[in-house]
C-alpha cells in the first residue's frame, strides 16, 4: 500500500516536473524568440557586428496581434547598417512609429554610429544611453574628431557617413540599475566600465538574456567553427582609450549577478554559458593586463611603444588560436585584424598616458 502511494506520488511529481519544465522551456523559447539578431554587415563582413530588435511576446504568440506593438533596437552599428535595420521592420510589418527606444551600450561607432540618422527616421524613438555617453550624442564633434584622427577624414566618411547632433529631448540617460518598461518587458541598465567609461549592459526580463556590448568579450562564429578544443574563443576588447582591467573584471561579476541565462554579444550573437565565458574572459583580461604592465615598465613612448604592444598582442592572439589548433589560418587572422590593431593601440595608450 505504502509502496503504491509512494509510486503514485512519485509519478505525479515526475509528471508535474515534466510539465513545469515543458512550460518553462516553451516560455523560454518564446522569450528568446522576441529577440531578433540583425547582421549589420559591418565592414562588409558577415557576423562581425550585430544589432538587436526586441519584440512583444503577445504579438508573436498572436494572442494580442491587433494591439499596437512597441519595439526597441539595441545597438545600431554605423549609418551603413540603416537599410538592414529598417528592412527588418518592414519585413515584420512593424511601423517606424512603433520603435520606442534606440538603446546603445556605448557610443563607439560600431555600436551607436547610426543613432543620429535613425532618430530622424523613427519619429517616436527615444535614445537610451549611459549618462557619460549623452553629451557626445548631443554634440558629437569631439567623437568625430577623435575617430577622424585615427582613420583620416576621407576614410571616416567612407566608414561611418555623416554623424549629426541629437536633440536633448530625444535622449534618456539611465543610471546604474535603472529600469525602463517597454510593452511586457522590463529592461535593466547596468553600468559596466572596463571597455569604456560610457558603457552599459541591458538585462531583458522577457528573454532572460543580457546585452553585453563589448563588456563580455568578442567571439566570432567564423573563428569558433574552426575551434577544436573548447569550441569557442572569447576575448576582451581593449580599444582606446578607456581600458581598465580591474573594472573589466568587476563588470563580469555585475553581468553574472543579473542571473541572466545567456548573453547577446554585439560581436557576435548568443553566448550560452556565462560561467564558462567569465572564466575565459578573466584569463584573457589578465593576460592583456600583463602586456600593459610590461609596457609601462619599459617606459617606451610613441611608435616604439606601439610596436612593442602590437607584437605582444599578436602573440596573445596566436596563443589563444593555437590552443584551438588554429595555426597559420589567414582567414581567422584577417578577421582579427581590427581587434589586434585596436587592442594594441588601447594598451599602448594606457601605458603612455595613464
Q: How far is 305 from 3, CA to CA, in rounded Å?
A: 76
Kindly give the residue spans of alpha helices, DSSP state H, lying in 66-186. Answer: 82-91, 109-112, 115-121, 134-138, 141-151, 153-160
Minimum gap (Å) between residue 106 Cβ and Zn ion:
8
Query: In whole angstroms, how close is the CB of 306 to Zn ion at the nearest point?
Result: 21
Q: Which is nearer to Zn ion, 256 or 342 (CB)?
A: 342
Q: Which is nearer to Zn ion, 214 or 242 (CB)?
A: 214
Residue 187 bridge partners (DSSP): 180, 204
Q: How far is the CB of 238 from Zn ion (least distance, A)?
A: 12
Cell readout for 190 is 547596468
Alpha carbon of 73 to those of 70, 92, 155: distances in Å? 11, 14, 27
Beta carbon of residue 322, minimum distance to Zn ion (angstroms, whole number):
25
For Zn ion, the closer of residues 205 and 224 by Cβ is 224
Compute the distance between CA of residue 307 and CA of residue 45 in angstroms, rounded to an integer: 27
Whichever of 209 and 217 has its CB closer to Zn ion, that residue is: 217
CA distances from 99 to 120, 121, 176, 263, 313 (A): 12, 10, 23, 23, 41
Beta bridge partners of residue 179, listed in sequence order = 188
Asked if residues 39 and 46 have their Cβ atoms less than 8 Å apart, the reply is yes
Q: Which residues are near Zn ion by CB under 5 A?
A: 110, 214
In the complex, minimum distance from the CB of residue 157 to Zn ion, in angstroms, rounded to a whole number = 20
Amino acid at each position: 500500500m505504502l509502496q503504491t502511494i509512494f509510486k503514485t506520488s512519485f509519478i505525479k511529481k515526475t509528471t508535474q516536473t515534466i510539465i513545469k519544465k515543458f512550460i518553462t522551456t516553451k516560455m523560454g523559447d518564446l522569450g528568446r524568440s522576441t529577440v531578433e539578431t540583425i547582421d549589420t554587415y559591418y565592414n562588409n563582413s558577415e557576423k562581425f557586428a550585430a544589432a538587436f530588435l526586441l519584440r512583444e511576446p503577445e504579438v508573436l504568440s498572436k494572442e494580442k496581434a491587433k494591439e499596437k506593438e512597441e519595439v526597441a533596437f539595441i545597438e545600431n552599428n554605423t549609418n551603413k547598417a540603416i537599410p538592414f535595420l529598417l528592412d527588418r521592420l518592414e519585413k515584420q510589418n512593424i511601423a517606424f512609429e512603433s520603435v520606442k527606444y534606440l538603446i546603445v551600450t556605448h557610443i563607439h561607432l560600431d555600436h551607436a554610429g547610426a543613432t543620429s540618422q535613425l532618430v530622424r527616421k523613427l519619429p517616436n524613438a527615444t535614445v537610451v544611453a549611459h549618462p557619460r555617453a549623452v553629451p557626445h550624442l548631443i554634440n558629437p564633434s569631439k567623437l568625430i574628431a577623435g575617430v577622424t584622427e585615427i582613420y583620416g577624414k576621407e576614410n571616416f566618411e567612407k566608414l561611418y557617413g555623416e554623424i549629426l547632433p541629437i536633440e536633448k529631448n530625444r535622449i534618456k540617460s539611465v543610471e546604474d540599475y535603472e529600469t525602463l518598461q517597454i510593452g511586457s518587458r522590463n529592461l535593466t541598465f547596468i553600468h559596466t566600465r572596463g571597455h569604456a567609461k560610457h558603457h552599459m549592459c541591458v538585462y531583458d526580463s522577457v528573454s532572460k538574456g543580457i546585452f553585453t556590448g563589448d563588456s563580455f568579450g568578442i567571439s566570432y562564429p567564423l573563428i569558433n567553427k574552426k575551434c577544436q578544443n573548447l569550441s569557442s574563443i572569447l576575448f576582451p576588447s581593449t580599444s582606446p582609450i578607456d581600458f581598465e582591467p580591474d573594472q573589466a573584471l568587476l563588470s563580469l561579476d555585475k553581468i553574472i549577478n543579473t542571473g541572466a541565462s545567456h548573453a547577446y554579444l554585439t560581436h557576435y550573437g548568443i553566448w550560452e554559458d556565462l560561467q564558462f565565458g567569465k572564466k575565459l574572459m578573466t584569463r584573457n583580461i589578465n593576460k592583456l593586463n600583463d602586456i600593459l604592465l610590461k609596457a609601462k615598465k619599459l617606459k617606451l613612448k610613441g611608435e616604439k611603444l606601439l610596436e612593442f604592444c602590437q607584437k605582444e598582442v599578436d602573440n596573445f592572439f596566436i596563443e589563444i588560436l593555437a590552443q584551438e589548433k588554429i595555426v597559420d589560418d589567414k582567414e581567422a587572422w584577417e578577421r582579427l585584424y581590427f581587434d589586434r590593431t585596436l587592442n594594441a593601440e588601447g594598451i599602448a595608450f594606457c601605458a603612455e598616458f595613464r
